């Protein structure tokens, strides 16, 4: 049982570290969030070009 706990813990730590590295790279290159202005205006309009008609 100890071996299974060690394996599960190692997998969880590996998943956390891998996700952190990937998200850090994405954040530094293209960003994870939109600007406040885009958020205020609406994401459908700013990101997808949709209009309210």
Residue 9 in domain: yes
Q: What is the pLDDT of residue 35?
A: 84
pLDDT in tens, the chain (53 residues): 999 999 999 999 999 999 999 999 999 999 888 888 888 888 877 777 777 66
* CA 26 to each of CA 14, 19, 47: distance values in angstroms, whole numbers, following the listed order: 18, 11, 18
- Show the domain range for 34: 2-48
Q: What is the pLDDT of residue 4?
A: 97
Residue 11 in domain: yes
Residue 18 in domain: yes
Residue 53 in domain: no
Q: What is the pLDDT of residue 17?
A: 98
Residue 16 in domain: yes
Number of domains composing the chain: 1
Residue 15 in domain: yes
DSSP per-residue string spanning 1-53: -HHHHHHHHHHHHHHHHHHHHHHHHHHHHT-SS--HHHHHH-HHHHHH-----
Q: What is the pLDDT of residue 41?
A: 81
Q: What is the pLDDT of residue 39?
A: 83
Q: What is the pLDDT of residue 53?
A: 64
């Amino acid at each position: 049982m100890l071996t299974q706990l060690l394996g599960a813990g190692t997998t969880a730590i590996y998943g956390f570290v891998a996700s952190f590295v990937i998200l850090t790279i994405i954040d530094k290159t293209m960003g994870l969030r939109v600007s406040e202005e885009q958020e205020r205006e609406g994401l459908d309009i700013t990101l997808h070009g949709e209009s309210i008609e």
